[in-house]
């Protein structure tokens, strides 16, 4: 009985402190963009010390923000950080809670230990208090920043009481459902708009999500520990591509919540380097082609790699595939297949994933 009374008291206090957010007509839809890590916390580091997760996260967040400002006048945009500074996890959540945000999006870059098998793909995380062993590594890595917070870290409770768990789940039930709803949207966009490998919508006990009181999702936009994805994420075009997909998901979710439609971004017409056929390099080109003959039409192709080498059509690096070469400024992108619809292009990509797991879809105007 005593435990039941504690639960009721906890719920009453939090309902008073954090009233349900209702978007009234004419109100702005509040989006908080959280670029993970920053300042003294570089996050994951790539093949060189200059390739840092904190920079990738910030660049993508700022580009998402630019798209929101350009296309969504009904959105109030807030950044937890817009420069290279260190922000505590609790402070990030506090910014979102104080703003009574309608959506919290935390952008991160994945990584595996140096001796681990290479991985590719994107993930979208929502909150759970029940740690799954399969997601424990992500929890440890994303929560590890707490160690940098000194005495401030005392506010994080990682051994909640049964009463706290019940209270939390009752309070967050609606937000959790909406978080999963948005996570599915953004995961779909990262896969279909950005052409990335789908690693699923998952759940983990992540502090930055646990402390927020609105639909919240943490995104892992790729693996900086995998050379092909590191190069993609270190390129301007790669970051813009990821930003477009995140923006599209936010715009769709906002439309679902408010009924107000916003312009969506199409997949980039610029093939983006994901790996080189020779020696890997951090000089990531932006290679494009545009063949105009009468009325333009969109054609979908699957890029397998790009680099500085001009290869013959029968080169062994094509693994028996008949590929096209696209040149710009002495750099070459190689694509396979051609389709008039995105669905057809997905089938083409699927058919060669065993040979080129890093392949992704690009578009051309012909």
Question: For every one of its 366 residues, what pLDDT tens digit does the chain have, with 9 covering 90 and above?
Answer: 444 444 443 444 444 444 444 455 558 999 999 999 999 999 999 999 999 999 999 999 999 999 999 999 999 999 999 999 999 988 999 999 999 999 999 999 999 888 777 788 999 999 876 544 434 454 454 555 545 555 544 554 544 445 444 444 544 566 788 999 999 999 999 998 898 988 889 888 787 788 888 999 999 999 999 998 999 999 998 999 999 999 999 999 999 999 999 999 987 644 444 433 322 223 333 333 334 445 567 788 888 887 777 888 888 889 999 999 988 767 788 899 998 887 788 889 889 888 887 677 777 766
Helix axes 236-258, 227-234, angle to 10 degrees: 80
pLDDT at 106: 96
Q: What is the largest CA-CA distance in the chain?
A: 78
Number of Cβ within 10 Å of residue 43's Cβ equals 22
Say if residues 11 and 171 touch (Cβ distance below 8 Å).
Answer: yes
| Lateral strand order in the sheet of 298-307 | 323-328, 331-339, 298-307, 360-365
DSSP, collapsed to helix, strand or coil, labels residue 85 as coil
Say if residues 75 and 254 touch (Cβ distance below 8 Å).
Answer: yes
H-state helical runs in the chain: 2-17, 53-71, 89-98, 136-143, 162-192, 207-210, 227-234, 236-258, 342-352
Cα 182 versus chain centre, distance: 12
Distance CA 240, CA 193 (A): 11
DSSP 237-264: HHHHHHHHHHHHHHHHHHHHHHS---PP
pLDDT at 355: 86
Distance CA 68, CA 321 (A): 40
Say if residues 291 and 364 touch (Cβ distance below 8 Å).
Answer: yes
Length of the chain: 366
Distance CA 181, CA 204 (A): 16
pLDDT at 2: 46
| Class for the domain spanning 7-258 | alpha beta
Lookup: tokens for 70: 């350009």
pLDDT at 14: 43
* CA 298 vs CA 266, 268, 301, 365: distances in Å: 11, 11, 10, 5
Phi-psi region of 74 (alpha: psi -120 to 50; beta: other; left: phi over 0): alpha
Is 3.40.50.2030 the CATH classification of the domain at 269-366?
no
Q: Where are the domains of the chain?
A: 7-258, 269-366
Which of 281, 353, 279 shows the shortest CA–CA distance to 319? 353
pLDDT at 56: 97
């Amino acid at each position: 009985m005593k435990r039941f009374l504690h639960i009721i008291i906890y719920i009453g206090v939090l309902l008073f402190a954090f009233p349900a957010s209702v978007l009234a007509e004419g109100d702005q839809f509040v989006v908080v963009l959280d670029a993970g890590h920053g300042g003294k916390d570089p996050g994951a580091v790539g093949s060189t010390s200059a390739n840092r997760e904190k920079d990738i996260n910030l660049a993508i967040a700022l580009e998402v923000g630019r798209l929101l400002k350009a296309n969504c006048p009904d959105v109030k945009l807030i950044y937890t950080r817009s420069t290279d500074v260190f922000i505590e996890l609790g402070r990030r959540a506090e910014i979102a809670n104080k703003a009574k945000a309608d959506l919290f999006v935390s952008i991160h870059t994945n990584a595996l230990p140096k001796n681990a098998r290479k991985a590719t793909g994107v993930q979208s995380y929502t909150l759970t208090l029940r740690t799954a062993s399969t997601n424990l590594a992500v929890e440890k890595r994303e929560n590890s920043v707490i160690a940098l917070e000194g005495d401030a870290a005392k506010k994080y409770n990682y051994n909640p009481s049964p009463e706290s768990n019940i209270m939390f789940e009752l309070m967050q039930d609606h937000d959790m459902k909406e978080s999963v709803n948005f996570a599915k949207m953004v995961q779909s966009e990262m896969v279909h708009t950005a052409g990335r490998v789908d690693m699923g919508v998952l759940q983990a006990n992540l502090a930055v999500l646990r402390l927020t009181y609105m639909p919240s999702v943490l995104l892992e936009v790729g693996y900086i520990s995998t050379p092909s994805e590191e190069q993609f994420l270190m390129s301007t075009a790669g970051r813009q591509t990821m930003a477009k997909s995140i923006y599209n998901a936010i715009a769709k979710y906002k439309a679902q919540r408010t009924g107000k439609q916003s312009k969506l971004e199409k997949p980039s017409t610029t093939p983006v380097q994901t790996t080189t056929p020779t020696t890997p390099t951090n000089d990531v080109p932006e290679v494009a082609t545009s063949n105009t003959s009468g009325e333009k039409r969109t054609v979908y192709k699957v890029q397998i790699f790009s680099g500085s080498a001009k290869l013959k059509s029968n080169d062994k690096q094509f693994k028996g595939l008949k590929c096209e070469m696209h040149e710009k400024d002495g750099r070459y992108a190689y694509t396979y297949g051609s389709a008039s619809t995105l669905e057809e292009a997905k089938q083409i990509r699927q058919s060669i994933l065993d040979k080129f797991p890093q392949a992704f879809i690009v578009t051309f105007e012909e």
